[in-house]
Amino acid sequence: MIAVDVPPGLRDLFFPGDLWARLSTLGPLTDRLTADTTIAVTSWSSRPVDAETLASAPRLGLVAHTGATLRPYATDAAWDHGVRFTQAGAAMAHAVAEQALALTLALLHRVHRFDHALRTGVAWEAAKQAPPRRELRDCPVGVIGASRTGRAYVRLVRALGARVSVTDPYLGPEEAAELGVQVVPLDELLAGSRVVALHAPVLPETRGLLGARELSRLQPGAVLVNTARSALVDMPALYQLVRTEHVDAALDVFDEEPLPVDHPLRALPNVLLTPHEAGGTLEARRRAGEIVIAEIARFLGGRALEHEVTPAAMVRMG
């Protein structure tokens, strides 16, 4: 029995008609975990696989998560029970990287400032008085985190001629050479980049990675793009910085979501905001469904899972 614990609207995106038909060939489908459930398909609204869950679904052997991070769902009780976990984070990497590229270009060309000025009634000629605009070609871009999304972003910006530096303790010389990037310390990256893009997971060592001291190293006129996690940044410190218009920023993630309607970030002309939807393209949702189906088929066939997450792997994942 396969329990598809995904809200109907989202389920239709992950598993449109043809994919739902393919999923149904792998076993009987239900929308909740029962005593007969052996496989669970989960989403962001799913509850943790804890002792209580396992008491109601004692035969559970595989959790196939349609998202990326498994931290809210994979518990010690699940590992001890022998439950295996797999996830579809790879499906979203290109979508998030594309949005990060779009935000990068918008910031460099000050599109957000022009839009804000015209929408708030600024006179035509006055609306043109944005800070200097820059091109991505030959632009020094700093990427924090050589994750799947980070690497996809690197490939996109390099294709447009950017010069890329990366900070990531796990990126070795050979991989850096293959990506065409230079590995540098964080402080050097911040001071030397016109664009800083965050693509790191939230780990104990990355939480609050960019505090007031680090943010102060950004050069005047630099732009910051965060489509990863808000916990990587001291958000109050970032607000104090952007309100001076020392830098521009594009944010898809926030400490409080939904972002309150009266949040001061909403009023700033030099900040571009999106509602944590960078990975939500139709293509990415379908790819996630395809990954889940393939992983379930491998599990049922006794084959190795391609996207399995083990307790050891969780150490490096957000």
* Angle (CA) 291 294 298, round 5°: 135
Q: How far is CA 48 from CA 229, 276, 307, 318, in A?
A: 20, 22, 19, 16
Q: How far is CA 96 from CA 36, 102, 198, in A?
A: 37, 10, 11
* Angle (CA) 278 313 303, round 5°: 95
Terminal-to-terminal C-alpha distance of the chain = 30
* Angle (CA) 17 22 26, round 5°: 140
Identify whether 276 is a catalytic site residue.
yes
Catalytic residue among 217, 246, 276, 286: 276
Contact between 99 and 157 under an 8 Å Cβ cutoff? The reply is no
Catalytic residue among 135, 178, 257, 283: 257
Identify whether 155 is a catalytic site residue.
no
Residue type at 63? V
Identify whether 81 is a catalytic site residue.
no
Chain-centroid distance, C-alpha 243:
25
Q: Is omega for the bond preceding 131 within 30 degrees of 0, making it cis?
A: no
Distance in angstroms (rounded) separating the CA atoms of residues 307 and 6: 19
Question: b/e map of 232-269 (b: 16 or more CB within 10 Å)?
Answer: bbbbebbeebbeeebbbbbbbbbeeeebeeeeebeebb
Any idea which residues carry the catalytic annotation? 229, 257, 276
